[in-house]
Structure 1
Amino acid sequence: MSAKPTPHPRSAFRVFRSIPTRWADNDLYGHVNNVVYYSWFDTAVNALLIERGALDIHQGETVGFVVETQCNYFAPLAFPQTVEAGLKVAHAGRSSVRYEIGLFAQGAGTAAAQGHFVHVYVDRATRKPVRLPPALQAVVNELRA
């Protein structure tokens, strides 16, 4: 059995993105619903890749499919907080990348939640795994922990 997860500090992540919460993110219990955290993971990873020219979601030959995801929750987040998503790459293979994401309340020193996405990059037309394109590989190298 593995050790109980503990929240990582900000220093564990390479880049950050601010994400404002929305009124609709809160659930009946007064905090952000767990499904929204996965949306923030997606936003943190894909927005960075798009901004760096490593992913063209409309016309690119290579697209990333999520094949594994996981999240641990440590402290609640709620509207109207701003969330700061920290991102790093824990592992990269020939066609896959494990992105690790920490979600922080604005200015907080430790993650309120953290988890990972594993993306397998495939040819858009054939859906077969492909080697990471050079632009994506460059971003992966920048984000390595």
Structure 2
Amino acid sequence: MAEREARSQRQDYARFVRITTRWHDNDIYGHVNNVVYYAFFDTAVNQLLVEAGVLDPVLSPVIGLVVETRCSYFAPVAFPAVIEVGVRVEHLGNASVRYALGIFCDGAAEASAQGAFTHVYVTRASGASTRIPEATRTVLAALQMQGDVP
């Protein structure tokens, strides 16, 4: 069996996005269902891009499409929790970016869950892979961190 990755800490992330869990996020077991964490990842990344002015979800001619995701779970989260999604850029290529993300219960030092999320940039009209626009690249570069992080 593969060794489990280390649980990430707040200092492992460049930015945080606050998200309020919703009533229907909980499953029959009384905690946020595993698939909802992927929506948290997607929301956090795209919210940062929209706020930075480099993504208009309806009109941007170049968009990032998700091509890979993963998530590891360490502790349950349940409605009505307010969570903070930590975001950093792990790899910035010519046409793709891989994010590291951590889900933190409001104020917690350790992640309740963590994962990765990869966007490949394409032209909206054709769906063909394209270079990340320079303005977007500048925003993404600011989310990179120096030093060793999990």
Both structures adopt the same fold (TM-score exceeding 0.5)? yes
Instruction: Compute the displacement of 1:3 (Å).
Output: 2.9
TM-score, reference length from structure 2: 0.94
Q: Which amino acid aligns with 2:121?
A: Y
Q: Which amino acid aligns with 2:12?
A: A
Question: Where in structure 2 are the equivalents of 1:56-75 lying within 5 Å?
Answer: 56-75=56-75
- Runs of 4+ in structure 1 displaced over 2 angstroms? none
Question: 1:80-103: CA deviations, max 9, x gaps?
Answer: 110110000000110000011100
- Structure 2, unmatched stretches of 5+, are 146-150
Q: Which amino acid aligns with 1:68?
A: E
User: In the alignment, which residue of structure 1 is the partner of 2:89?
Assistant: 89
Instruction: Compute the displacement of 1:29 (Å).
Output: 0.4
User: In the alignment, which residue of structure 2 is the partner of 1:45?
Assistant: 45
Aligned residues: 145
User: In the alignment, which residue of structure 1 is the partner of 2:17?
Assistant: 17
Q: Which amino acid aligns with 1:6?
A: A
Question: 1:12-71: CA deviations, max 9, x gaps?
Answer: 000001100111111110100001100000000001001101111111110111000000
Q: Which amino acid aligns with 2:45?
A: V
Question: 1:89-127: CA deviations, max 9, x gaps?
Answer: 000110000011100000100100000110000011111
Calculate percent identity across the aligned residue pairs.
Answer: 51
Alignment root-mean-square deviation, CA: 1.0
Relative to structure 2, which stretch is displaced further, 1-10 or 69-78? 1-10
- Structure 1, unmatched stretches of 5+, are none
CA distance in 2, matches of 1:60, 1:18: 24
